[in-house]
Chains A and B, each alone.
Chain A
Amino acid sequence: MSNSRERRIVRYEFGERLVHSFTALSYVYLLLTGLAFWTPAMYWIAIVLGGGYLSRLLHPWAGLFFVGLLGWMYVMWRADMRITPEDRTWRKAIGHYIRNEDAQVPPVWRFNDGQKVLFWAMTAASLGLLLSGLVLWYVTLVPWNLRWVRYGAVLIHAISALVTIAGFIIHVYMGVFVVPGGLHAIIHGDVSEEWAKAHHLLWYRNLRKQP
Protein backbone atom coordinates (compact mmCIF):
# COMPACT_ATOMS: atom_id res chain seq x y z
CA MET A 1 0.00 0.00 0.00
CA SER A 2 2.58 2.53 1.02
CA ASN A 3 4.74 2.08 -2.07
CA SER A 4 1.73 2.40 -4.38
CA ARG A 5 0.88 5.61 -2.53
CA GLU A 6 3.94 7.25 -3.98
CA ARG A 7 2.91 6.45 -7.51
CA ARG A 8 -0.56 7.93 -7.65
CA ILE A 9 -2.02 8.85 -10.99
CA VAL A 10 -4.34 11.80 -11.39
CA ARG A 11 -7.44 10.41 -13.12
CA TYR A 12 -9.73 13.42 -12.64
CA GLU A 13 -8.46 16.99 -12.27
CA PHE A 14 -10.08 19.23 -9.66
CA GLY A 15 -12.25 20.99 -12.27
CA GLU A 16 -13.55 17.69 -13.58
CA ARG A 17 -14.48 16.49 -10.12
CA LEU A 18 -16.16 19.78 -9.31
CA VAL A 19 -18.29 19.78 -12.46
CA HIS A 20 -19.15 16.12 -11.96
CA SER A 21 -20.28 16.62 -8.36
CA PHE A 22 -22.44 19.68 -9.12
CA THR A 23 -23.95 17.90 -12.12
CA ALA A 24 -24.66 14.89 -9.91
CA LEU A 25 -26.26 16.97 -7.15
CA SER A 26 -28.47 18.95 -9.53
CA TYR A 27 -29.41 15.74 -11.36
CA VAL A 28 -30.52 14.09 -8.12
CA TYR A 29 -32.68 17.10 -7.25
CA LEU A 30 -34.21 17.07 -10.75
CA LEU A 31 -34.76 13.32 -10.54
CA LEU A 32 -36.49 13.49 -7.17
CA THR A 33 -38.75 16.44 -7.97
CA GLY A 34 -39.39 15.05 -11.45
CA LEU A 35 -40.46 11.69 -10.01
CA ALA A 36 -42.82 13.54 -7.68
CA PHE A 37 -44.54 15.14 -10.69
CA TRP A 38 -44.38 11.88 -12.65
CA THR A 39 -46.56 9.79 -10.39
CA PRO A 40 -48.76 10.47 -7.34
CA ALA A 41 -47.13 7.49 -5.63
CA MET A 42 -43.93 9.56 -5.37
CA TYR A 43 -45.49 12.99 -4.75
CA TRP A 44 -44.39 12.71 -1.10
CA ILE A 45 -40.84 13.46 -2.30
CA ALA A 46 -41.95 16.97 -3.29
CA ILE A 47 -43.49 17.43 0.16
CA VAL A 48 -40.25 16.36 1.84
CA LEU A 49 -38.33 18.80 -0.39
CA GLY A 50 -40.43 21.78 0.67
CA GLY A 51 -43.77 21.22 -1.08
CA GLY A 52 -45.06 20.80 -4.61
CA TYR A 53 -45.19 24.54 -5.30
CA LEU A 54 -41.53 25.10 -4.35
CA SER A 55 -40.43 21.98 -6.22
CA ARG A 56 -42.24 23.18 -9.33
CA LEU A 57 -40.66 26.61 -8.93
CA LEU A 58 -37.08 25.36 -8.57
CA HIS A 59 -37.16 22.35 -10.94
CA PRO A 60 -36.71 24.41 -14.15
CA TRP A 61 -33.91 26.53 -12.66
CA ALA A 62 -32.14 23.40 -11.44
CA GLY A 63 -32.62 22.10 -14.98
CA LEU A 64 -30.86 25.12 -16.49
CA PHE A 65 -28.04 24.74 -13.96
CA PHE A 66 -27.72 21.03 -14.82
CA VAL A 67 -27.71 21.60 -18.58
CA GLY A 68 -25.16 24.39 -18.20
CA LEU A 69 -22.82 22.08 -16.30
CA LEU A 70 -23.43 19.36 -18.84
CA GLY A 71 -22.34 21.79 -21.54
CA TRP A 72 -19.13 22.37 -19.62
CA MET A 73 -18.69 18.60 -19.26
CA TYR A 74 -19.19 18.25 -23.02
CA VAL A 75 -16.43 20.74 -23.79
CA MET A 76 -14.17 19.07 -21.20
CA TRP A 77 -14.66 15.43 -22.15
CA ARG A 78 -15.90 15.23 -25.72
CA ALA A 79 -12.42 14.40 -27.08
CA ASP A 80 -11.94 11.59 -24.55
CA MET A 81 -15.48 10.37 -25.24
CA ARG A 82 -15.01 9.90 -28.99
CA ILE A 83 -15.75 6.27 -29.93
CA THR A 84 -12.54 4.54 -31.14
CA PRO A 85 -11.92 1.21 -32.93
CA GLU A 86 -10.80 -0.20 -29.56
CA ASP A 87 -14.27 0.62 -28.21
CA ARG A 88 -15.88 -1.48 -30.90
CA THR A 89 -13.67 -4.41 -29.88
CA TRP A 90 -14.60 -3.79 -26.25
CA ARG A 91 -18.29 -3.71 -27.13
CA LYS A 92 -18.05 -7.20 -28.60
CA ALA A 93 -16.62 -8.45 -25.29
CA ILE A 94 -19.17 -6.65 -23.12
CA GLY A 95 -20.52 -10.01 -21.88
CA HIS A 96 -17.14 -10.71 -20.27
CA TYR A 97 -17.13 -7.23 -18.74
CA ILE A 98 -20.60 -7.74 -17.25
CA ARG A 99 -19.64 -11.18 -15.86
CA ASN A 100 -16.47 -9.66 -14.34
CA GLU A 101 -14.23 -11.86 -16.54
CA ASP A 102 -11.88 -8.90 -16.89
CA ALA A 103 -8.92 -10.96 -18.22
CA GLN A 104 -10.92 -11.39 -21.44
CA VAL A 105 -11.88 -7.72 -21.76
CA PRO A 106 -9.84 -5.79 -24.37
CA PRO A 107 -7.85 -2.74 -23.13
CA VAL A 108 -9.41 0.72 -23.37
CA TRP A 109 -8.35 4.37 -23.28
CA ARG A 110 -9.39 6.87 -20.61
CA PHE A 111 -13.04 5.79 -20.75
CA ASN A 112 -14.53 2.47 -21.77
CA ASP A 113 -17.33 2.16 -24.29
CA GLY A 114 -19.96 1.86 -21.56
CA GLN A 115 -18.89 5.16 -20.04
CA LYS A 116 -18.90 6.78 -23.46
CA VAL A 117 -22.35 5.52 -24.35
CA LEU A 118 -23.59 6.84 -21.00
CA PHE A 119 -22.04 10.23 -21.73
CA TRP A 120 -23.61 10.53 -25.18
CA ALA A 121 -26.98 9.18 -24.04
CA MET A 122 -27.05 11.68 -21.15
CA THR A 123 -26.06 14.53 -23.47
CA ALA A 124 -28.71 13.68 -26.06
CA ALA A 125 -31.46 13.06 -23.48
CA SER A 126 -30.60 16.28 -21.65
CA LEU A 127 -30.92 18.22 -24.87
CA GLY A 128 -34.41 16.70 -25.23
CA LEU A 129 -35.16 17.57 -21.60
CA LEU A 130 -33.99 21.15 -22.11
CA LEU A 131 -36.05 21.82 -25.24
CA SER A 132 -39.21 20.08 -23.99
CA GLY A 133 -38.71 21.57 -20.54
CA LEU A 134 -38.66 25.10 -21.94
CA VAL A 135 -42.00 24.39 -23.64
CA LEU A 136 -43.48 23.06 -20.37
CA TRP A 137 -42.05 26.03 -18.46
CA TYR A 138 -43.40 28.65 -20.88
CA VAL A 139 -46.50 26.75 -21.95
CA THR A 140 -48.50 30.02 -22.05
CA LEU A 141 -46.27 31.29 -24.86
CA VAL A 142 -47.15 28.31 -27.09
CA PRO A 143 -50.09 29.49 -29.23
CA TRP A 144 -53.19 27.28 -29.21
CA ASN A 145 -52.89 26.43 -32.91
CA LEU A 146 -49.38 25.09 -32.18
CA ARG A 147 -50.64 22.94 -29.29
CA TRP A 148 -49.07 19.82 -30.81
CA VAL A 149 -45.80 21.34 -29.53
CA ARG A 150 -47.19 21.06 -25.97
CA TYR A 151 -48.27 17.46 -26.63
CA GLY A 152 -44.85 16.58 -28.02
CA ALA A 153 -43.11 18.25 -25.09
CA VAL A 154 -44.83 16.20 -22.36
CA LEU A 155 -43.92 12.96 -24.16
CA ILE A 156 -40.32 13.98 -24.99
CA HIS A 157 -39.74 15.21 -21.43
CA ALA A 158 -40.95 11.94 -19.92
CA ILE A 159 -39.14 9.65 -22.39
CA SER A 160 -35.86 11.60 -22.16
CA ALA A 161 -36.07 11.52 -18.38
CA LEU A 162 -36.56 7.74 -18.44
CA VAL A 163 -33.45 7.41 -20.65
CA THR A 164 -31.40 9.39 -18.11
CA ILE A 165 -32.79 7.30 -15.25
CA ALA A 166 -31.69 4.09 -16.99
CA GLY A 167 -28.22 5.61 -17.41
CA PHE A 168 -28.18 6.93 -13.87
CA ILE A 169 -29.02 3.54 -12.32
CA ILE A 170 -26.28 1.75 -14.27
CA HIS A 171 -23.76 4.57 -13.70
CA VAL A 172 -24.21 4.78 -9.93
CA TYR A 173 -24.36 1.01 -9.54
CA MET A 174 -21.13 0.51 -11.52
CA GLY A 175 -19.26 3.36 -9.88
CA VAL A 176 -20.25 2.62 -6.31
CA PHE A 177 -20.79 -1.13 -6.14
CA VAL A 178 -18.98 -2.86 -9.01
CA VAL A 179 -15.67 -1.08 -9.68
CA PRO A 180 -13.51 -0.82 -6.55
CA GLY A 181 -11.83 2.58 -6.52
CA GLY A 182 -14.31 4.15 -8.95
CA LEU A 183 -16.07 6.25 -6.33
CA HIS A 184 -12.74 7.24 -4.73
CA ALA A 185 -11.43 8.39 -8.11
CA ILE A 186 -14.36 10.68 -8.97
CA ILE A 187 -14.33 12.23 -5.49
CA HIS A 188 -10.59 12.49 -4.76
CA GLY A 189 -9.24 12.29 -8.29
CA ASP A 190 -6.43 9.77 -7.84
CA VAL A 191 -5.95 6.10 -8.70
CA SER A 192 -3.06 3.68 -8.28
CA GLU A 193 -0.90 2.48 -11.17
CA GLU A 194 -2.31 -1.01 -10.70
CA TRP A 195 -5.85 0.34 -11.03
CA ALA A 196 -4.98 2.30 -14.16
CA LYS A 197 -3.35 -0.76 -15.73
CA ALA A 198 -6.28 -3.02 -14.85
CA HIS A 199 -9.09 -0.75 -16.03
CA HIS A 200 -7.65 1.65 -18.63
CA LEU A 201 -4.46 0.10 -19.98
CA LEU A 202 -4.21 2.13 -23.21
CA TRP A 203 -4.72 5.38 -21.28
CA TYR A 204 -2.06 4.31 -18.74
CA ARG A 205 0.52 3.42 -21.41
CA ASN A 206 -0.07 6.72 -23.14
CA LEU A 207 0.42 8.59 -19.85
CA ARG A 208 3.68 6.74 -19.22
CA LYS A 209 4.96 7.60 -22.70
CA GLN A 210 4.59 11.28 -21.95
CA PRO A 211 7.52 12.84 -20.03
Chain B
Amino acid sequence: MANTLELLRVSASSPPAPGVRKTAVVTKLVDTSTCIGCKACEVACQEWNDLPPETTVQSGTYQTLPDLAPGFWNLIKFNEHEDEHGRLHWLMRKDQCMHCAEPGCLTACPAPGAIVQYTNGIVDFQQDQCIGCGYCMTGCPFNVPKLNPQTKRVYKCTLCVDRTSVGLQPACVKACPTGCLQFGTKDTMLEMANRRVERLKADGFAQAAVYDPPGVGGTGVVTVLAYGDRPELYGLPRNPTIPLAVKLWKGPLKWLGNAAMFAGLLAAAVHFVRFGRKADVTWK
Protein backbone atom coordinates (compact mmCIF):
# COMPACT_ATOMS: atom_id res chain seq x y z
CA MET B 1 0.00 0.00 0.00
CA ALA B 2 2.99 2.12 0.38
CA ASN B 3 2.83 3.41 -3.18
CA THR B 4 -0.33 5.39 -2.46
CA LEU B 5 1.03 6.80 0.77
CA GLU B 6 4.10 8.95 1.34
CA LEU B 7 6.74 8.20 3.94
CA LEU B 8 7.34 10.53 6.86
CA ARG B 9 9.76 8.32 8.81
CA VAL B 10 11.72 5.19 7.86
CA SER B 11 13.46 3.00 10.44
CA ALA B 12 17.28 2.77 10.45
CA SER B 13 17.67 5.28 7.65
CA SER B 14 19.82 8.39 7.99
CA PRO B 15 18.60 10.30 4.91
CA PRO B 16 15.38 12.29 5.24
CA ALA B 17 12.23 10.33 4.42
CA PRO B 18 10.96 11.15 0.92
CA GLY B 19 7.41 12.25 1.78
CA VAL B 20 6.60 15.83 0.76
CA ARG B 21 2.87 15.79 0.04
CA LYS B 22 0.91 17.21 2.93
CA THR B 23 -1.86 14.86 3.93
CA ALA B 24 -4.23 15.03 6.87
CA VAL B 25 -3.26 12.95 9.90
CA VAL B 26 -5.84 10.23 10.43
CA THR B 27 -7.02 9.11 13.84
CA LYS B 28 -9.22 6.48 15.39
CA LEU B 29 -11.38 7.60 18.28
CA VAL B 30 -12.23 5.10 21.01
CA ASP B 31 -14.93 6.25 23.41
CA THR B 32 -14.63 3.78 26.28
CA SER B 33 -17.84 5.07 27.85
CA THR B 34 -19.96 3.74 24.97
CA CYS B 35 -18.11 0.45 24.47
CA ILE B 36 -20.39 -2.47 25.32
CA GLY B 37 -17.70 -5.14 25.02
CA CYS B 38 -19.36 -6.90 22.08
CA LYS B 39 -16.00 -7.62 20.40
CA ALA B 40 -17.35 -7.00 16.92
CA CYS B 41 -14.14 -4.98 16.32
CA GLU B 42 -12.04 -8.03 17.21
CA VAL B 43 -13.92 -10.22 14.75
CA ALA B 44 -13.82 -7.58 12.01
CA CYS B 45 -10.05 -7.22 12.51
CA GLN B 46 -9.48 -10.96 12.25
CA GLU B 47 -11.71 -11.25 9.19
CA TRP B 48 -10.41 -8.28 7.22
CA ASN B 49 -6.79 -9.16 7.89
CA ASP B 50 -7.35 -12.88 7.25
CA LEU B 51 -5.89 -13.82 10.62
CA PRO B 52 -6.55 -17.35 11.87
CA PRO B 53 -8.26 -17.73 15.25
CA GLU B 54 -6.04 -17.82 18.32
CA THR B 55 -6.46 -20.48 20.98
CA THR B 56 -7.56 -18.73 24.13
CA VAL B 57 -7.34 -19.54 27.82
CA GLN B 58 -10.12 -19.30 30.39
CA SER B 59 -9.00 -16.69 32.86
CA GLY B 60 -12.36 -15.93 34.44
CA THR B 61 -13.14 -12.85 32.35
CA TYR B 62 -14.86 -12.06 29.09
CA GLN B 63 -11.55 -10.95 27.61
CA THR B 64 -10.77 -12.92 24.45
CA LEU B 65 -7.03 -13.38 25.10
CA PRO B 66 -4.73 -12.43 27.97
CA ASP B 67 -2.73 -10.15 25.66
CA LEU B 68 -2.30 -9.09 22.05
CA ALA B 69 -0.76 -11.80 19.88
CA PRO B 70 1.19 -11.94 16.60
CA GLY B 71 -2.10 -12.86 14.88
CA PHE B 72 -4.43 -10.81 17.11
CA TRP B 73 -3.97 -7.05 16.75
CA ASN B 74 -7.06 -5.64 18.43
CA LEU B 75 -8.04 -6.79 21.92
CA ILE B 76 -10.75 -5.37 24.16
CA LYS B 77 -9.31 -5.40 27.67
CA PHE B 78 -11.90 -5.86 30.40
CA ASN B 79 -10.90 -4.10 33.61
CA GLU B 80 -13.00 -4.10 36.78
CA HIS B 81 -12.95 -1.03 39.01
CA GLU B 82 -14.79 -0.47 42.27
CA ASP B 83 -15.35 3.24 42.93
CA GLU B 84 -15.42 5.03 46.30
CA HIS B 85 -19.16 4.27 46.66
CA GLY B 86 -18.55 0.56 46.29
CA ARG B 87 -20.04 0.47 42.80
CA LEU B 88 -18.44 -1.80 40.24
CA HIS B 89 -17.43 -0.30 36.92
CA TRP B 90 -16.55 -2.44 33.95
CA LEU B 91 -13.90 -0.46 32.12
CA MET B 92 -13.33 -1.72 28.58
CA ARG B 93 -10.42 -0.47 26.60
CA LYS B 94 -9.28 -1.16 23.06
CA ASP B 95 -5.71 -2.46 23.20
CA GLN B 96 -3.92 -2.07 19.87
CA CYS B 97 -1.09 -0.14 18.27
CA MET B 98 -1.52 3.52 19.24
CA HIS B 99 0.22 4.84 16.09
CA CYS B 100 2.39 7.28 18.06
CA ALA B 101 3.46 10.46 16.32
CA GLU B 102 6.94 9.74 17.72
CA PRO B 103 7.10 5.94 17.57
CA GLY B 104 9.49 4.18 19.96
CA CYS B 105 9.38 1.01 17.85
CA LEU B 106 10.66 2.88 14.79
CA THR B 107 13.39 4.56 16.84
CA ALA B 108 14.62 1.22 18.17
CA CYS B 109 14.43 -0.70 14.85
CA PRO B 110 17.84 -1.53 13.26
CA ALA B 111 16.50 -2.80 9.91
CA PRO B 112 16.19 -0.13 7.22
CA GLY B 113 12.57 0.22 6.12
CA ALA B 114 11.16 -2.46 8.44
CA ILE B 115 9.07 0.15 10.25
CA VAL B 116 7.69 3.18 8.42
CA GLN B 117 5.42 6.05 9.32
CA TYR B 118 3.29 7.50 6.54
CA THR B 119 2.56 11.22 6.29
CA ASN B 120 -1.00 10.43 7.43
CA GLY B 121 0.46 9.24 10.74
CA ILE B 122 0.02 5.47 10.36
CA VAL B 123 2.95 3.46 11.74
CA ASP B 124 3.33 0.30 9.68
CA PHE B 125 5.59 -2.76 9.96
CA GLN B 126 7.03 -4.10 6.70
CA GLN B 127 7.52 -7.75 7.66
CA ASP B 128 9.59 -8.50 4.53
CA GLN B 129 12.27 -6.11 5.83
CA CYS B 130 11.94 -7.23 9.48
CA ILE B 131 14.90 -9.21 10.83
CA GLY B 132 13.12 -10.38 13.98
CA CYS B 133 15.44 -8.79 16.54
CA GLY B 134 12.56 -7.69 18.79
CA TYR B 135 14.04 -4.23 19.50
CA CYS B 136 10.64 -2.66 18.65
CA MET B 137 9.23 -4.60 21.60
CA THR B 138 11.72 -2.78 23.83
CA GLY B 139 11.07 0.60 22.16
CA CYS B 140 7.26 0.49 22.38
CA PRO B 141 5.89 2.09 25.58
CA PHE B 142 2.53 0.29 25.15
CA ASN B 143 3.74 -3.34 24.89
CA VAL B 144 2.09 -3.77 21.49
CA PRO B 145 4.37 -5.46 18.89
CA LYS B 146 4.31 -9.25 19.04
CA LEU B 147 6.87 -11.67 17.61
CA ASN B 148 5.60 -14.62 15.58
CA PRO B 149 7.79 -17.58 16.58
CA GLN B 150 7.34 -19.29 13.19
CA THR B 151 8.19 -16.39 10.86
CA LYS B 152 10.38 -14.70 13.51
CA ARG B 153 8.95 -11.32 12.48
CA VAL B 154 6.87 -8.81 14.39
CA TYR B 155 3.19 -7.94 13.80
CA LYS B 156 0.65 -5.38 14.97
CA CYS B 157 -2.35 -3.28 13.91
CA THR B 158 -1.84 -1.49 10.58
CA LEU B 159 -4.76 0.90 11.17
CA CYS B 160 -6.11 -0.99 8.13
CA VAL B 161 -3.68 0.88 5.91
CA ASP B 162 -4.99 -1.06 2.92
CA ARG B 163 -8.51 0.30 3.59
CA THR B 164 -7.73 3.76 4.92
CA SER B 165 -5.32 4.59 2.06
CA VAL B 166 -8.28 4.22 -0.37
CA GLY B 167 -10.70 6.22 1.72
CA LEU B 168 -12.38 3.44 3.72
CA GLN B 169 -12.76 3.18 7.48
CA PRO B 170 -10.73 0.63 9.42
CA ALA B 171 -12.57 -2.70 9.68
CA CYS B 172 -13.07 -2.36 13.44
CA VAL B 173 -14.71 1.05 13.08
CA LYS B 174 -16.96 -0.26 10.31
CA ALA B 175 -18.14 -3.10 12.57
CA CYS B 176 -18.71 -1.12 15.78
CA PRO B 177 -22.46 -1.08 16.56
CA THR B 178 -22.53 1.72 19.15
CA GLY B 179 -20.50 4.40 17.44
CA CYS B 180 -17.90 4.02 20.16
CA LEU B 181 -15.29 3.79 17.38
CA GLN B 182 -14.94 6.67 14.93
CA PHE B 183 -12.39 7.38 12.24
CA GLY B 184 -11.38 10.63 10.56
CA THR B 185 -8.80 13.40 10.64
CA LYS B 186 -7.10 14.04 13.95
CA ASP B 187 -8.74 17.47 14.29
CA THR B 188 -12.25 16.08 13.76
CA MET B 189 -11.64 13.19 16.14
CA LEU B 190 -10.30 15.46 18.89
CA GLU B 191 -13.31 17.72 18.45
CA MET B 192 -15.67 14.73 18.82
CA ALA B 193 -13.65 13.42 21.75
CA ASN B 194 -13.86 16.74 23.58
CA ARG B 195 -17.63 16.86 23.03
CA ARG B 196 -17.89 13.39 24.57
CA VAL B 197 -15.78 14.50 27.51
CA GLU B 198 -18.15 17.44 28.14
CA ARG B 199 -21.12 15.03 28.12
CA LEU B 200 -19.35 12.71 30.56
CA LYS B 201 -18.58 15.63 32.86
CA ALA B 202 -22.22 16.65 32.77
CA ASP B 203 -23.09 13.04 33.67
CA GLY B 204 -20.97 13.23 36.81
CA PHE B 205 -17.58 12.00 35.58
CA ALA B 206 -15.73 15.18 36.52
CA GLN B 207 -12.35 13.67 35.70
CA ALA B 208 -13.27 12.58 32.17
CA ALA B 209 -10.51 13.34 29.66
CA VAL B 210 -9.10 12.54 26.24
CA TYR B 211 -6.07 10.24 26.27
CA ASP B 212 -3.71 11.58 23.60
CA PRO B 213 -0.37 11.32 25.44
CA PRO B 214 2.02 14.17 24.58
CA GLY B 215 5.08 12.13 25.66
CA VAL B 216 4.96 10.29 22.33
CA GLY B 217 3.85 13.35 20.37
CA GLY B 218 0.19 12.34 20.59
CA THR B 219 -1.27 9.15 19.17
CA GLY B 220 -3.23 8.08 16.12
CA VAL B 221 -5.65 6.29 18.42
CA VAL B 222 -7.20 8.68 20.95
CA THR B 223 -9.30 7.34 23.80
CA VAL B 224 -12.04 9.00 25.82
CA LEU B 225 -11.72 7.92 29.44
CA ALA B 226 -14.40 8.50 32.08
CA TYR B 227 -11.64 8.28 34.68
CA GLY B 228 -9.27 10.48 32.69
CA ASP B 229 -7.15 11.20 35.75
CA ARG B 230 -6.41 7.50 36.23
CA PRO B 231 -5.54 5.94 32.85
CA GLU B 232 -3.86 3.04 34.68
CA LEU B 233 -7.37 1.79 35.64
CA TYR B 234 -7.69 0.97 31.95
CA GLY B 235 -4.19 -0.49 31.71
CA LEU B 236 -2.84 2.60 29.99
CA PRO B 237 0.47 4.18 31.06
CA ARG B 238 0.06 7.60 32.68
CA ASN B 239 2.76 9.37 30.72
CA PRO B 240 4.18 7.10 28.01
CA THR B 241 7.43 8.15 26.35
CA ILE B 242 10.10 6.44 24.29
CA PRO B 243 12.10 4.69 27.06
CA LEU B 244 15.10 6.75 28.21
CA ALA B 245 17.43 3.76 27.64
CA VAL B 246 16.29 3.55 24.01
CA LYS B 247 16.78 7.30 23.52
CA LEU B 248 20.31 7.11 25.00
CA TRP B 249 21.16 4.00 22.99
CA LYS B 250 20.01 5.42 19.65
CA GLY B 251 21.22 8.96 20.45
CA PRO B 252 24.27 10.02 22.51
CA LEU B 253 25.62 6.48 23.01
CA LYS B 254 25.61 5.81 19.27
CA TRP B 255 27.43 9.01 18.42
CA LEU B 256 29.92 8.64 21.29
CA GLY B 257 30.52 5.01 20.33
CA ASN B 258 31.06 5.84 16.66
CA ALA B 259 33.41 8.68 17.59
CA ALA B 260 35.34 6.39 19.96
CA MET B 261 35.70 3.64 17.34
CA PHE B 262 36.90 6.15 14.79
CA ALA B 263 39.29 7.72 17.31
CA GLY B 264 40.67 4.26 18.14
CA LEU B 265 41.52 3.53 14.52
CA LEU B 266 42.95 7.02 14.10
CA ALA B 267 45.09 6.65 17.24
CA ALA B 268 46.54 3.38 15.93
CA ALA B 269 47.41 5.03 12.62
CA VAL B 270 49.01 8.02 14.36
CA HIS B 271 50.99 5.72 16.65
CA PHE B 272 52.25 3.73 13.68
CA VAL B 273 53.39 6.84 11.84
CA ARG B 274 54.97 8.38 14.97
CA PHE B 275 56.57 5.30 16.63
CA GLY B 276 56.19 2.44 14.18
CA ARG B 277 57.25 -1.13 14.86
CA LYS B 278 59.27 -2.28 17.82
CA ALA B 279 62.92 -3.20 17.33
CA ASP B 280 63.03 -6.27 15.12
CA VAL B 281 64.85 -8.84 17.26
CA THR B 282 65.41 -12.02 15.30
CA TRP B 283 62.19 -13.96 15.58
CA LYS B 284 62.24 -16.18 12.48
Chain A residues with a Cβ under 8 A of chain B? 1, 4-5, 36-41, 43, 46, 52-53, 55-57, 98-100, 102, 136, 139-140, 144, 147, 150-155, 158-159, 162, 165-166, 169-170, 173, 177-181, 184-185, 191-192, 194-195, 197-199
A140 cross-chain contacts in B, Cβ below 8 A: 134, 137, 147
Sampled A-B contacts (15; CB under 8 Å): A40-B12, A52-B129, A55-B131, A56-B131, A57-B132, A100-B275, A100-B278, A151-B246, A154-B249, A155-B253, A165-B261, A173-B268, A181-B281, A181-B283, A197-B281
- Tell me the nearest residue of chain B to A157, going by C-beta: B249
- Tell me the nearest residue of chain A to B274, going by C-beta: A99
Complex Cα–Cα for A175 and B249 (A): 32
Complex Cα–Cα for A56 and B14 (A): 21
| Residue among B13, B243, B280, B281 with max Cβ neighbours from chain A (10 Å) | B281
Complex Cα–Cα for A194 and B268 (A): 26
Chain B residues with a Cβ under 8 A of chain A? 12-14, 108, 110-112, 129-135, 137-138, 143, 147, 152, 243-246, 248-249, 253-254, 257-258, 260-261, 264-265, 268, 271-272, 275-284
B244 cross-chain contacts in A, Cβ below 8 A: 151
| Residue among A53, A102, A155, A184 with max Cβ neighbours from chain B (10 Å) | A53
Residue pair A37, B133 in contact (C-beta under 8 Å): yes
Q: A37-B110, A136-B134 are in contact. Are A198 and B253 (CB under 8 A)?
A: no
| Residue among A36, A52, A177 with max Cβ neighbours from chain B (10 Å) | A52
- B109 to chain A minimum Cβ distance, whole angstroms, is 10
Residue pair A100, B138 in contact (C-beta under 8 Å): no
- Tell me the nearest residue of chain A to B11, going by C-beta: A40
Residue pair B131, A166 in contact (C-beta under 8 Å): no
Complex Cα–Cα for A150 and B246 (A): 10
- Tell me the nearest residue of chain B to A37, going by C-beta: B110
Knowing that A100-B278, A139-B134, A170-B264 touch, tell me 20 more A-B residue pairs with CB under 8 angstroms: A1-B282, A37-B110, A39-B258, A43-B112, A56-B133, A57-B152, A98-B275, A100-B279, A140-B137, A140-B147, A147-B143, A155-B248, A158-B249, A165-B264, A166-B264, A173-B272, A180-B280, A181-B283, A191-B283, A198-B281
Residue pair A166, B260 in contact (C-beta under 8 Å): yes
Residue pair B112, A195 in contact (C-beta under 8 Å): no
Residue pair A139, B137 in contact (C-beta under 8 Å): yes
10 closest A-B pairs by beta carbon, nearest first, are A181-B283, A151-B245, A52-B131, A40-B12, A56-B131, A195-B283, A173-B268, A139-B134, A169-B264, A37-B110
B276 cross-chain contacts in A, Cβ below 8 A: 100, 178
A155 cross-chain contacts in B, Cβ below 8 A: 245, 248-249, 253
Complex Cα–Cα for A179 and B248 (A): 38
Complex Cα–Cα for A153 and B271 (A): 35
Residue pair B132, A43 in contact (C-beta under 8 Å): no
- Tell me the nearest residue of chain B to A35, going by C-beta: B261
Task: Please tell me which one of the listed residues B143, B265, B275 contacts residue A169 in the complex, with CB atoms under 8 A apart.
Answer: B265
- A111 to chain B minimum Cβ distance, whole angstroms, is 16
Residue pair A184, B257 in contact (C-beta under 8 Å): no
Residue pair B275, A1 in contact (C-beta under 8 Å): no
Residue pair B132, A139 in contact (C-beta under 8 Å): no
